Each structure stands twice: as structure tokens, then as C-alpha cells.
Amino acid sequence: MQELSPAYILFSNPYSLFPTACSILLRMSDPLLNTPGHLASPDKLVNLPRLLTAFYANHPDPENPAQRVSFGTSGHRGSSLASSFNYAHILAITQAIVEYRAKESTTGPLFLAMDTHALSEPAFTTALEVLAANGVTTFIDSACGQPGNALGYTPTPALSHAILTYNTGRSKDLADGIVITPSHNPPEDGGFKYNPTNGGPADTTATKWIQDRANELIAAKLQGVKRLSYAKALAAPTTQRHDYITAYVADLANVIDFAPLANTTLKLAVDPLGGAGVAYWPRIFDHYQLDVTVLNPYVDPTFRFMTLDWDGKIRMDCSSPFAMASMIKNKDLYDVAWACDTDHDRHGIVTRTAGLLNPNHYLSVCIQYLFTHRPEWSVKVGIGKTLVSSSIIDRVAKGLNRPLLEVPVGFKWFVDGLIDGSLGFVGEESAGATFLRRNGRVWTTDKDGLIPGLLAAEMTAVTGKDPGQFYADLTAKYGSPVYQRIDAAATKEEKSKLAKLSPSQVTAKDLAGEPITAILTEAPGNHAPIGGLKVTTENGWFAARPSGTEDVYKIYAESFLGETHLKQIQTEAKALVAKAIA
């Protein structure tokens, strides 16, 4: 990698330095190999030739629900090995998006982006084949300085930023985008998301239309899908290069205050986790003259450098203490360090004083800091949270005398408030967030994992307190919550009942020794169905939502009275839900 002064690159993971026999010996010497928080042995890594062969060789069965196109809150996801993310899926989804654009009279260019998962590049080339054949002007990355002018990787927030920047001042011929990523999912997975002209995640009306049309095309054996060869698509006049990285990096000073970081003595570090931002961080630090260590700046689609997550799988989940074990182990080397997931729309913050911060904790810290250090923001600007995020956010918002918008799970619910500037900060419990520019205008309408990391450095330089110390101050004032998500078994019928519950079906009056203050099946911020249930008391709450992929439902719970009270909430929540859906 090119040396960029004064940004210093540290290759801190010994396994990434020895890609041959030495690496294998180092790995095999670990007695906890293949356990959560430790590395995987080479035989446990994804078989890339098999994965890529399956992308083209396997064909989805349109009668098998597991192999159909299915857009969740984060687009369509699957694996070529399971015939749920294959060439046919991408051809059909892209053609469906082309037709959806025509239906919506979206006539501007389409920004196309991908992350570093192994399936992202074949999906990218496939999508471009369809877009070019349909005459859609498509902006692809201008290589980010990759050797041989290879296609570059683009973080999700850079795509959102590009769409919003292009559409500013325009009332017609607006741009939209596709980002190819399964987020922090395992290396064998692929993902495909559509972002309309507002730059944020598509709403359910759009995704259902695209999903249904794509499945029709697959069932019709792809009749109606237009495509060119990749070579012709790449050379087509409608395929144009766009410098995502320069536009995003140069604009960052309008959302982050870099002045306090000039000549700082703080020891700072970032780990891109082999994701789409690998080329962005050196450019950021060089552009703003920052001395920050970049850990493991490699792209390796096996992600062999990641420690295993809680279930023994590789995930680039920067909020997981298992996936982040290496950074936690080295927390004393830096005042503040941070990481991002594969498409860089999520963040994980590690401090010397607190280790890895719980995502909910850091959201509350960001809110407290931003609303006391952004003087150009209107006093009417509010805060957005999902209903399964911590209630300490509610208490911080009340302390700041700021309005709070509580919505169902899904970042799409925040888009309008970000665009009109009525929401200054928005976040969800899974470590996704974004916030306004320093002047109070929209930055991105999709999650941005880069700016929360940079904000952690800013607030530490400005206040002399790292985010862990900041959170300790908040808990001294508002109480110290304990929060956990667990799963409970449920049949498909039970999950269907849970998703359609009404408050009247819950007859309980108390929860874990406290009177129930609210029973919700709609989000209080916008009255949209939450697809489940939330029950609150003065010092605790739980929410139950059916899983979209497994025969379980998820129970999110929190207590301000300690671990014992939390366990009581969880136990009673299971009984309460079981009775309601019986």
C-alpha cells in the first residue's frame, strides 16, 4: 500500500502477514482455535471456488420459498451455496429495478456500488450487464486507486451521499442507486439493496414490487430480462466512472469538526475489517492531516483475519465482542479505536477505559455530545430511534429537551426527517446511525459507519473524555440500564399471530413487579405497525418480534434495576407472549 504521511499504516495481525505455511502453524498453535473470539482454522474458511461456481451453476427453484427473492429490511440476502443468491436472482432483481424505475419515472443515472464479499463482484458485473442492456446510465466507482484500474469498493454511506449530492437542486431526472452487500453477514453470503432517489433504503411498497416482479421473471425462466456481455456493458456509453471517494472525503469536514484533532496527542486507530472502506481511511487521514493507525488494511474474501462470532461463524459485526476480540485485547494501545462492518454502514467503538461500547450506549453518547456541540442546529431538531433501542436514549432526549421520534425497526423510517432537517441524529440498536451536517442539513439518508468513529475521536479531543467516560457520566445522571436480546422458539403459525397482535390481546397488568405503562403494537412516533409487541414499565420494557429467517421470535429487553430484574422481565415476557398467541 502506498505510504501516506502523516497517516501511518500498521499491519497488526500476524496472520495477515504470513499467508502461507507460517500462517497455518500460527493458527494451529491456538488451543481455542475455532471457538468464539478466536480465529478459524483454514479448513473452516469459505471455499471460494465452490462459492463462485455455485453462483453461476445453481439455479433457484421458483417453487421453493427459501430460494425466491425476498426483500427484508436490508434488501435481498442469501448464498449461492443455498441457491438463494445466484446469477438468476441478480438478473431478475436488476431487471425488476429497471422496470420499477420506469414505472416511477426515475430517469436520472443509477449509482452502482459493491462491498468486499466474494459474491459482490459477480453480482456487480451481472447487474451492470442488465443495466447497460436497458440503456440505464450507470455510475460505477473510478477504482479508488486500485491496481490495474480494477473496480473499487464503495461504502453504503458513500452511495447515499452520491445520490443526495447529485439530486441537490434538481427536480427532474433524479438519480437512485444499488448497493451490493449483505452487510456484516458471513463470507459466503451476498446481498442486494435498492436506494431510491431519496438516497435511503427503499420502502416496503418499492421492495415488494421489485421482489414480486423478480420472482415472476425467475418463474418465466428469465424471459424479459435484457443483458449484454460484461465486456460490452463495461464499454457501453451509458457506463460512466464516478469518483465516490474524493467526493465523500472532501465533504467530511462539513459533518465532522477536524480542527480539534489537528496535532492531537491522542492515540487513535481504525480497523476496516476488510470492508469497503479500506481505501477510504488512508485518504481521510491524509486529506485532513491526521495521525491515525489503520489496522489490517487488506481485502481477503475469506475474512480469515476475523475472530469467530458467538455461534462460531465469521461475521464482520463490529458491535460483537466476539468478532471484535482482537481490538478489545489491544484496547490499551489506543485512547480511542473504532471499526466498521463490510459495507461500512455500522460502527463499533473501543476505548481504553471501557473496551467495546454497547451500541445503545454509544448512541446515547453521540446524542449528548452532538446536541451540545452543534451550535448551528435548530433548537427544534429532534432525535430518532427504533423502538428496540435503549430507553436511556429517551432519558437523554428528555434531559436535552429535544423531541424524540420512536419508529419500527428499519432505517427507512428516518429518511424524511433527515431530508427536512427535523431529525439531527438517528440510530438503531444494531450500531447503525447517521446525523446531520454541522450546518443542520442532510448528510446521508442511509446508515454511515465512518462518521460515528470519527465523532468518537472528535469528542475525545474536544472534551478530554473518551466515549466510555462520557457514558459513565450519563449513567450517573440517568441510571445504568442492562439490555439483552434473546430468541424463543415459535412455529410459523405462532410467528404469524405475534406479528398481528393487538394490545387488547395482552391481559397482564404488571411486568416484573411493576405496573405496565404501555402495550404497543404500533410505533408511537409514526403509528406504523411494529410487527410484534412492546410492553413498558417505569424501569424496564421488552419487545417481541418474529424472525424472518428462523422459527424463533426475538425478545429485546432492558432494565434500569439490574441483571436480576432483566431476567425476570425476560421470563415473564416469554409467558406473556405465549399466552397472547396461544
Q: Which residue has the higher pLDDT, 214 or 9?
A: 214
Pairwise CA distance, residues 532 & 497, whole Å: 9
In a domain, 544, yes or no: yes
Residue 490 has a pLDDT of 87
Domain that residue 26 falls in: 12-44
With 60 as the cut, is the pLDDT of residue 182 above it? yes
Residue 424 has a pLDDT of 98
Taking only the tens place, the pLDDT of each residue in 251-297 is 999 999 999 999 899 999 999 999 999 999 999 999 999 999 999 88
In a domain, 85, yes or no: no
Residue 2 has a pLDDT of 34
In a domain, 174, yes or no: no
- Is 183 considered catalytic here? yes
Taking only the tens place, the pLDDT of each residue in 370-381 is 999 999 999 999
Question: What are 434's strand-pairing partners?
Answer: 426
Q: What is the CATH number of the domain that holds 506?
A: 3.30.310.50
| Averaged pLDDT of the chain | 92
Residue 28 has a pLDDT of 58
Taking only the tens place, the pLDDT of each residue in 91-103 is 999 999 999 999 9
pLDDT level of residue 462 (50, 70, 90 thresholds): very high
pTM above 0.85, yes or no: yes
With 50 as the cut, is the pLDDT of residue 16 above it? no
Q: Which of 183, 326, 430, 559 is catalytic?
A: 183
Share of the chain above pLDDT 90, in %: 84
Residue 145 has a pLDDT of 41
Residue 147 has a pLDDT of 55
Share of the chain above pLDDT 70, in %: 93
Query: Could you please report the per-residue DSSP string of 434-471?
Result: EE--TTSS---SS--SHHHHHHHHHHHHHHS--HHHHH
In a domain, 330, yes or no: no
In a domain, 505, yes or no: yes
Alpha-carbon distance values, 399 to 43, 368, 466, 477 (Å)? 53, 9, 21, 10
In a domain, 240, yes or no: no
Q: How many domains does the chain have?
A: 2
In a domain, 136, yes or no: no
Pairwise CA distance, residues 200 & 418, whole Å: 10
Taking only the tens place, the pLDDT of each residue in 32-88 is 899 999 999 999 999 999 999 999 999 999 999 999 999 987 799 999 999 999 999
Query: C-alpha cell of 454?
Result: 470519527
Taking only the tens place, the pLDDT of each residue in 499-523 is 888 898 889 999 999 999 999 999 9
Pairwise CA distance, residues 366 & 371, whole Å: 8
In a domain, 281, yes or no: no
Nearest Cα neighbor of 497 from 541, 531, 523 is: 531
Which element (helix H / strand E) includes 545?
Answer: strand 540-546
